[in-house]
Amino acid sequence: MAGESPPPFGAKKPAPGPSVKTFSCPSCGAGVILRAVGQSISVVCGSCGSVIDVTNENYQILSSAFQKNKVIPLIPLGQKGKLRGETWQVIGFMQRCDGSELYSWREYLLYNPFKGFRWLVESDGHWNYVIMTKSKPTIQHGDAKFLGETYKLFEKGTGKVTFVVGEFYWKVSAGETVQVEDYVCPPRILSSESGDQETVWSLGEYLDPGVIQAAFAISQPMPGRIGIAPAQPVKSSLLLRPLARYWAFFLVALLALQLLTVMLSSNEKLLHLSGVYTGNDVEKPKVTESFQLRKGTNVEVTFQSPVNNNWLELDATLVNDSTGAQYNFEQGVEYYYGSDSDGSWSEGAQHQENVISSVTAGTYHLNYQIVGPISVSAATAKEQPYNIDVRRGVVSWSNFFLALFLVSAFPVSVWWISSRYEQRRWADSNSEYNLVRSGGSDDD
C-alpha cells in the first residue's frame, strides 16, 4: 500500500460521468483502461510499463520503465467481487519485495465509487483485507495502541515495488521504496509505510483464502498457505478468553464448596491408641473398644511411629458391631536416611493417613495387628512406639484436586496449543520485542 493517503470518500452518489474510460498509451499505443475516473492519479500501462499521469487528458508519461519479470495477477484487473456486503473492483496490482529481495508479496487495489479504496494483500498464500486510516496509534516500547486494542510490533523493514500494473491514487512507479512496520493483534494487523513525504497507516484483517476465492469467482487453485501469517488467528486462541472466564467461575465455585466443606466438617476424634512393638515375636491381633458413628461419614485412620532406618505396618479391619460389615485396610510407615557421594539423603515418612469413605452410621470397633521386623533374640529386640488415631468427618482434599484437574484440563490444553502456535508465529518476527526470543523458547 505504498504512496500517499487515498482521497476522502463519503456516502454521496458520485458525480455523473463515465465510469470507465479508455485511451491509447502515449508510449506504446496499447489500450489503457481507467476505471476510477476522477479518483486515480496515475495508471501503469500493462504493455510497456509506462506510468501515465491521468489527472488531465494530456496523459503525460511520468516514467518509462520496462518491467522484465511480468507478474500475472491471480485476480485480473477489472474483476469484481463482493466483500463485507460491498462490491469491489480490482483496478491496480503490484508486487513488492523486502530489502533482501528474496521475499515478495502481492497487493491488489480495490475500488468502489461509494466507499473508496481498499486493498487485498497476499503473502505466502495468506490474505489480509486492508483499509487506510487517518487515525494514528500511540506507539510505546513495541506496542501500538489503536481503537482500544494493543498491537505488538512484529516486523519492520523495506518494501520495494518490483512490478506494477493498473491505476492508483498516487504517482506509482517500479522501484518505489518505503519503510514498513507491522504490528499484530490477530486477526488484525496495523501497518505503517513511511516515504519521503509522509507516513501512511492502514488496518488489515486476516481473511481465509476461500473467502477471497468465492468473492471474486477465482477458478484456478489458490496459492497454498505457507507457515503462520502474522495476523492469522488460531481457533484455540479465540477460545482462551471465554474459557478463562468460565474456568475462573468454576474455580471460585469449587473453592467456595471446599471452604464450606471445611467449615461443616466435624473432624471428631473417635479413638486414640498407643502401643509399643517389641519385635521379638509376631504380635497377636488386638481388638479396640467400640465407638459410635452417629451418621454416615468418612473415617480417617492415622498410623504414626518414629521409625529410623526401619519400618512398621498396621493391618486392620473396621467392623460394624451390629451388621458385621467390614472395611479392611493396610497402611505402613518407613523412613530411611543416610549419606553417599552426592551428600545426605532420606526417603519415606513416619506417619500415614488412610481415609475410608461413606461409612454408614453405627457402632464400630477396630481389629488390628502391628507387623514389623522380627529380631533374632530378645536381647536384640528394639522397642518401637506407635500411635493410632481414628477420626470421623475429616476434610478430603483428593476430591477437590480431582475436580480442579477436570475443570482445568481443557483450558490448560487450549492454552498450551495456543502457546505453541504463537511460538511458531513469532519465530518469523524480526522485532526486538519478539515474544519468542524475549519471553519464550523456540519451536521445534
Give the pLDDT of the chain (444 residues) as one tens digit per residue: 656 667 665 444 444 455 789 999 998 889 999 999 889 999 999 888 889 999 888 898 888 766 667 899 999 999 999 999 999 999 999 999 998 888 999 999 999 999 999 999 999 999 999 999 999 999 998 899 999 999 999 999 999 999 999 999 988 888 889 999 999 999 999 999 998 888 999 999 999 999 999 999 999 999 999 999 999 988 766 677 788 888 899 999 999 998 988 888 888 999 999 999 987 666 789 999 999 998 888 999 999 999 999 999 999 999 999 999 999 999 999 999 999 988 999 999 999 999 998 899 999 999 999 998 876 555 556 789 999 999 998 888 888 899 999 989 988 888 888 888 888 888 888 887 775 544 444 444
Distances (CA, A) of 56 to 15, 48, 51: 17, 21, 14
Distance CA 215, CA 218 (A): 8
Radius of gyration of the chain (CA): 39
Burial class, 312, CB count within 10 angstroms (exposed 0-12 / middle 13-18 / buried 19+): buried
Phi then psi for residue 219, to 5 deg, are: -85, -30
Rounded to whole angstroms, how far apart are CA atoms 178 and 192? Answer: 10
Q: Looking at this protein, which amino acid is placed at residue 186?
A: P
What cell was used for 41? 492519479
- Residue 26 near residue 61, CB atoms below 8 Å: yes
Amino acid at 303: F
pTM given for the model: 0.68
SS (H, E, C) 202-243: EEEEEECHHHHHHHCCCCCCCCCCCCCCCCCCCHHHHHHHHH
**Distance, CA of 67 to CA of 99 (rounded, Å):** 19
The C-alpha atoms of residue 170 and residue 118 are separated, in whole angstroms, by: 14
Grid coordinates representing 227 are 507457515
Neighbouring C-beta atoms of residue 381, cutoff 10 Å:
16
User: Which DSSP symbol is given to 182?
Assistant: E
Q: Record the cell numbers describing residue 123, joined without a space.
A: 503473502
Location of each CATH 2.60.120.380 domain in the chain: 266-394
Q: Which fold has domain 266-394?
A: Jelly Rolls (2.60.120)
Q: How far is CA 213 from the centre of its chain?
A: 28
Closest of 275, 301, 284, 313 to residue 364, by C-alpha: 301
Residues 189 and 144: beta-carbon distance below 8 Å: no
The residues pairing with 330 across neighbouring beta strands, listed in sequence order, are: 315
